[in-house]
């Protein structure tokens, strides 16, 4: 009772009151009540009116609006017809059980909506903002870019920003589905909707609330239910033609046999059963509820799907196309190998490289500095960048060089080429070769498992598109298990490649990219999946499916959720139509009654709804 709305409580009380009165009247009818229609009719109209007045009102209102053929119309005709042939208890019971089913459906839908709301309970309610030297509690919408906010332990971060002071760990599970806390400190980006676990953080706001991560996610989730799947559209079209067809069928079932047999009461009863059974509510409610639950389940796993149509498309993935950098690889350059000359130590090689690169913002330079750490660096004078080749300077009056092979050749220095693939930085001092440092992007470990899962799920082909060299791309593909590689591509080339693959597909073509540089390809694919989209406006805008972290294993997870949802939808459609057509046939041969027909309608709807709600609780095996 505590989770029922006020309207639901009132409906339940009406059902209970009507049920008690119906029970009393049936006992009286079997014992002392005279078998006179003018005595029984007014008595049975009391419980009927208590439980069914609103159904009759809705049916009349819809008729005035031109919306004749709906379930309230069918229930009104069936129960009024039952009164006309003196089946008073059955008329009340049909309406009673119908209202009980409607109440159950309302509670079930409310529960599923609450479940999804709890999954996406990331909307911040307030922000503690520094104004005039004091911390003021204000609405997140009122905080401007550049202002400072304070977030205490246990509080949600209300706006996107950069940590100005403090250290903590953040729970990003509501955004990414990942429960492992993420360490955070000064200079790190933080996203609204994440929860501060232990330390106090001062954050400089970088986006207004309406542009923040949490606002975009909430907007995406709220709009996802608007895009309908083909199954939903088919059910709606089916119901539009199905309901008037069965009304006509019920009328013919009454009229033609009545003329032939001269027994109108018997065939009117059969026609009423026909009408009760024909209500399409099991399909109309359970199919969208299944997709609604599937979308909510995906959100729980950090997978935001922009509509039921994309959820449905995921169930039929045939070709998966990946971008390489940031999707299958970390997208972060790291030192993978150090090869000093015979008379040079690895530490000295790193010292010289770090000294030369310490003022550079190039990703290669950053990876060298990260590898060097706090190692002491010699003083470099006369630092000079050599465009397209590298950098030069002087250490203790001697020329030092760090760059590519071309730079070494220009100074007449022979180099030893390393066997590893990646970006190579060669170093020299005077005319002597000091060694080389190999920088490479690291393959994501989860990418290997993702490709294995996709093959198990029946994906026919996997393709990697990259602007990198063929040698590097082939190495990555071999490690991960990609079927086909297309390298040395410009962004426009990727679109052409996807268009070519679209002509070869047998189902859905899915493209997964980082969402920043791949927007044209994401839009061109049947289903575009943006990886690691927390904080990425371009990803959220361009993609059909948004993975809130950069884990490729979320792609097979999304496909499994989609297929589970599809199986539930198919089960409900087959079950509902199978039972209905069976009872429709039985009614034509007088092998059922209104009591059984009511179960065939409302009971089937309840079972279908319970089955649909399983999508909310789906868990990976």
Residue numbers annotated as active site? 323
- 3-state SS class at 228: coil
Tokens read off for 137: 């509690």
* Cβ contact 141:210 at 8 Å: yes
Tokens read off for 537: 């406006």
Helix 554-588 vs helix 264-277: angle between axes, to the nearest 10 degrees?
Answer: 180
Report the C-alpha gap between 524 and 540 in whole angstroms. Answer: 15
Interacting residues of 477 by C-beta distance below 8 A, sequence separation 6+? 464, 484, 485
Closest CA to 476 of 468, 417, 532, 334: 468
Give me the DSSP letters along 347-412. HHHHHHHHHHHTT---HHHHHHHHHHTT------EEEEEETTTEEEEEETTEEEEEE-HHHHHHTT
Q: In what order do the strands lie in the sheet with 381-386?
A: 329-340, 432-443, 423-429, 398-403, 390-395, 381-386
Indicate the helix (H) or strand (E) that contains 555: helix 554-588
Say how many C-beta atoms besides its own lie within 10 A of residue 150's C-beta: 17
Q: In what order do the strands lie in the sheet with 182-184?
A: 182-184, 168-171, 195-196
Q: What are phi and psi of 275, to 5 degrees?
A: -65, -45
Report the C-alpha gap between 621 and 617 in whole angstroms. Answer: 12
Indicate the helix (H) or strand (E) that contains 93: helix 88-119
Long-range contacts, stretch 345-351, CB < 8 angstroms, 24+ apart: 347/375, 348/434, 349/427, 349/434, 349/435, 349/437, 350/375, 350/437, 351/375, 351/376, 351/377, 351/378
Closest CA to 464 of 478, 482, 445: 482
Closest CA to 192 of 223, 151, 222, 224: 151
CA 207 to chain centre: 24
Q: In what order do the strands lie in the sheet with 461-465?
A: 303-305, 545-547, 527-530, 508-513, 317-323, 461-465, 484-486
């Amino acid at each position: 009772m505590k989770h029922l709305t006020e309207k639901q409580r009132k409906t339940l009380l009406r059902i209970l009151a009507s049920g008690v009165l119906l029970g009393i009247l049936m006992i009286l009818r079997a014992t002392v009540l005279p078998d006179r229609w003018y005595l029984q009719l007014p008595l049975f109209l009391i419980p009927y009116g208590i439980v069914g007045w609103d159904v009759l009102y809705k049916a009349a209102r819809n008729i005035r609006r031109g919306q004749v053929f709906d379930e309230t119309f069918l229930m009104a005709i069936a129960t009024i017809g039952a009164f006309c042939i003196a089946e008073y208890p059955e008329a009340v019971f049909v309406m009673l059980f119908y209202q009980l089913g409607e109440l159950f459906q309302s509670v079930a839908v409310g529960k599923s909506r609450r479940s999804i709301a709890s999954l996406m309970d990331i909307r911040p309610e307030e922000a503690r903002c520094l104004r005039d030297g004091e911390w003021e509690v204000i609405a997140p919408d009122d905080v401007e870019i550049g202002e400072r906010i304070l977030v205490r332990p246990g509080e949600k971060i209300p706006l996107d920003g950069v940590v100005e002071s403090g250290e903590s760990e953040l729970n990003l599970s509501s955004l990414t589905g990942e429960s492992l806390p993420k360490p955070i400190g000064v200079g790190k980006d933080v996203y609204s909707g994440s929860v501060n676990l232990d330390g106090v953080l001062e954050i400089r706001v970088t986006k207004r609330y309406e542009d923040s991560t949490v606002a975009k996610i909430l907007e995406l989730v709220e709009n996802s239910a608007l895009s309908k799947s083909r199954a939903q559209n088919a059910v709606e079209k089916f119901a539009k033609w199905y309901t008037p067809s069965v009304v006509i069928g019920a009328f013919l079932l009454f009229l033609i046999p009545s003329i032939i047999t001269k027994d109108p009461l018997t065939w009117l009863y059969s026609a009423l059963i026909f009408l009760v059974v024909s209500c399409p509510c099991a399909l109309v409610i359970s199919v969208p509820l299944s997709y609604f639950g599937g979308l909510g389940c995906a959100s729980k796993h950090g997978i935001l799907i922009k509509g039921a149509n994309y959820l449905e498309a995921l169930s039929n993935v045939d070709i998966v196309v990946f971008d390489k950098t940031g999707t299958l690889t970390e997208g972060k350059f790291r030192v993978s190998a150090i090869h000093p000359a015979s008379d040079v130590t690895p530490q000295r090689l790193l010292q010289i490289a770090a000294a030369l690169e310490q003022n550079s913002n190039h990703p290669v330079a950053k990876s060298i500095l990260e590898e060097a750490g706090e190692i002491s660096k010699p003083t470099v004078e006369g630092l000079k960048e050599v465009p397209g080749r590298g950098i030069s300077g002087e250490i203790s009056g001697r020329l030092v060089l760090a760059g590519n092979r071309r730079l070494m050749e220009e100074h007449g220095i022979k180099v030893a080429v390393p066997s590893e693939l990646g970006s190579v930085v060669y170093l020299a001092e005077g005319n002597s070769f000091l060694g080389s440092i190999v920088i490479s992007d690291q393959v994501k470990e989860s990418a290997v498992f993702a490709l294995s899962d996709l093959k198990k799920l029946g994906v026919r082909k996997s393709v990697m598109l990259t602007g990198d060299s063929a040698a590097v791309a082939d190495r990555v593909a071999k490690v991960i298990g990609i079927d086909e590689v297309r390298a040395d591509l410009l962004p426009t080339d990727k679109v052409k490649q996807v268009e070519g693959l679209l002509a070869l597909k047998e189902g859905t073509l899915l493209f997964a990219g980082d969402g920043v540089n791949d927007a044209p390809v994401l839009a061109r694919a049947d289903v575009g999946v943006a990886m690691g989209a927390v904080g990425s406006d371009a990803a959220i805008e361009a993609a059909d499916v948004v993975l809130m972290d950069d884990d490729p294993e979320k792609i097979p997870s999304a496909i499994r959720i989609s297929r589970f949802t599809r199986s539930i939808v198919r089960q409900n459609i087959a079950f509902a139509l199978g039972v209905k057509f069976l009872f429709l046939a039985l009614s034509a041969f007088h092998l059922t009654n209104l009591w059984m027909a009511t179960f065939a309608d409302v009971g089937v709807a309840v079972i279908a709804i319970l089955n649909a709600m399983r999508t909310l609780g789906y868990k990976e095996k």
